[in-house]
Structure 1
Amino acid sequence: MVNNVETLAAVSWIVSRGGAAYAQRGTSAETGTKLVCLSERFTRPGAYEVELGTSLERIVTELGAGLKDDAELTALQVGGPLGGFLAADALDVPLTETDLAARGAALGHAGLVAFDQRVAPEDVLRHIWQFAAAESCGACSPCRVGSRRGLELASAGDPPGEEYGRLSRVLAEASLCAFGRRIPPAVRSLARAYGGRLTGWDQ
């Protein structure tokens, strides 16, 4: 039997208090707790265990104590490089799979990466495509070729145009696994988080 560290970390609590007690934590639909990891830009970075359903705003402002050096949060990446982005004024969302999906993000491993006003959205966009191109397993051409073409478009620095609309649809509909299918939603969420500063990437 194979388990991840997060599962094993919960075992002692469940053994000592019982499964029914653990199921009372979190929400009725998504029970238990989640380890969230706050990135280095937070005043108090690190790993925190929270109940599922805890608001992102509370995690960012209370546990993370905001950003270092009085920096202003502009976007929050949730759940990994392809998990999705939320704007700083859109953190009134519970930490659950369902609620995050409704906002165009994903819970994933629940890592929270903060981006402040010193980071250009174009740099974050290129990072998404660089990650996608580097980590694509290459088993299917929509993801293998599409991620590289997306990186070329992002690196050009111009609005992507109609070609990106077609590329986005192919990635979302023809990729063999969730990795390729998650790229377009992640890019769209980034465009939304930055409020129109990434014209054309919200397709």
Structure 2
Amino acid sequence: MQGLRGTVRPRPPYPTGSGLWGRPTAVNNVETLAAVPWVLRHGGAAYAKLGAPAETGTKLVCLSQRFRNPGVYEVELVVPLRYLVDALGGGVEPGYRLRCLQVCGPLGGFLSPDELDLPLLGDALADAGVALGHGSLVAVDDRITAHELLRHVWRFAAAESCGACTPCRVGTRRGLELTGDSAGARTVLSRQDDLLEVMATGSLCAFGRGVPTAVRSLVRVYRDELLAGEP
């Protein structure tokens, strides 16, 4: 809108202090604006009764990939992930087994099937090493190998990095290279850990800092498979 290059800028200042044309700017997504008519009609107090005391309201959750009933569902914050996966999503399609659940898209993080009793709450998911974000859930089946999934995450990160800062620009490409490294799995994961620490500390924006969260959660869920055959 201002004719500037579409790239990340250091913060602060934040948009609320200096946004469009240097003026205080409110930034809302479509989901937030869609809730406004209901709040105006029923009142803020009624909306605040939905969800949990610390995280009130509803969330649009997009179920995709191997779900029997894919689609977008509006649910109260605090409902268990298992309700979303089994009751709304209908579980995975016949012939497949749920291997993990990807939360919040490519950089949100991964959970194992035995973690589905976690509530749909930002703090609870953050404690488990994933982000709530925009609320998408992707059912990953057991036919996708750990290495394929890890390479996919790094490929996405390398393709989507805006390149404004070195930790993210170089780090994502180095991470992708590591997925093809011929060294042993333990050695590669150790090198990857060092890389992720640099990205988490030095990246300018949430994208570069979000890659480590996604990769670390994936490694946690798939560690046995990634290290299969290692002494």
TM over 0.5: yes
SS in structure 1 of the partner of residue 28 of structure 2:
coil
**Structure 2 residue 225 is the aligned partner of structure 1 residue 197:** yes
Whether the aligned pair in 2 keeps the contact of 1:74 and 1:194 (CA below 8 Å) is no
Deviation of 1:8 after TM superposition, in Å, equals 2.2
Give me the whole-angstrom Cα distance separating, in 2, the residues matched to 1:110 and 1:141.
Answer: 29
Q: Which residue of 1 aligns with 2:130?
A: 105
Residue of 115, 127, 142 corresponding to 1:117:
142
Question: CA offsets per residue over residues 49-88 of structure 1, 9 Å max, x none?
Answer: 0101111011100000101114210100001111000001
Q: Which consecutive unaligned segments of at least 5 residues does structure 2 have? A: 1-25
Q: 1:70 to 1:18 in 2, by over 3 A?
A: farther
Q: Contact 2:104/2:132 (CA < 8 Å) preserved in 1?
A: yes
Is residue 15 from structure 1 mapped to residue 40 from structure 2 by the alignment? yes
Displacement, 1:9? 1.9
Larger Rg over CA atoms? 2
C-alpha root-mean-square deviation of aligned residues, in Å?
A: 1.6
Distance 1:55 1:106 in 2: 15
Whether 2:65 is the aligned partner of 1:65: answer no
Trace 1:2-151 onto structure 2 (pairs within 5 A).
Answer: 3-151=28-176
Alpha-carbon distance in structure 1 between the residues aligned to 2:32 and 2:193: 39
Q: Is the 1:137–1:144 Cα contact (8 Å) retained in structure 2? A: yes
1:82-131, CA deviations, whole angstroms, 9 ceiling, x for partnerless residues? 10000011111011110000000000111001111111111110111011
3-state DSSP class of the match of 2:107? Answer: coil
Q: Does 1:176 align with 2:204?
A: yes
Distance in 1 separating the partners of 2:45 and 2:147: 47
Which residue type is aligned with residue 214 of structure 2?
A
CA deviation vs aligned residue, 1:118-149 (integer Å, no higher than 9, x gap): 11111110111011101111111111001000
- Look up the SS of the partner of 2:117 in the other structure: coil
SS in 2 for 1:35: strand
CA contact (8 A) 1:32 1:51 kept: yes
Q: What is the alpha-carbon distance in structure 1 between the residues aligned to residue 124 and residue 189 of structure 2?
A: 31
Alpha-carbon distance in 2 for matches of 1:5, 1:156: 42
Cα distance in 1 between the residues matched to 2:227 and 2:204: 28
**1:5-52 alpha-carbon deviations (Å, 9 max, x no partner):** 211221221122111100100000000000000003100000000101
Q: Which amino acid aligns with 2:44?
A: G
SS at match of 2:140: strand
The 2-side partners of 1:146 and 1:27 are apart by 38
Aligned to 1:167: 195
Does structure 1 retain, via aligned residues, the 8 Å contact 2:65–2:140?
A: no
Aligned equivalents of 1:169, 1:12: Cα separation in 2: 43
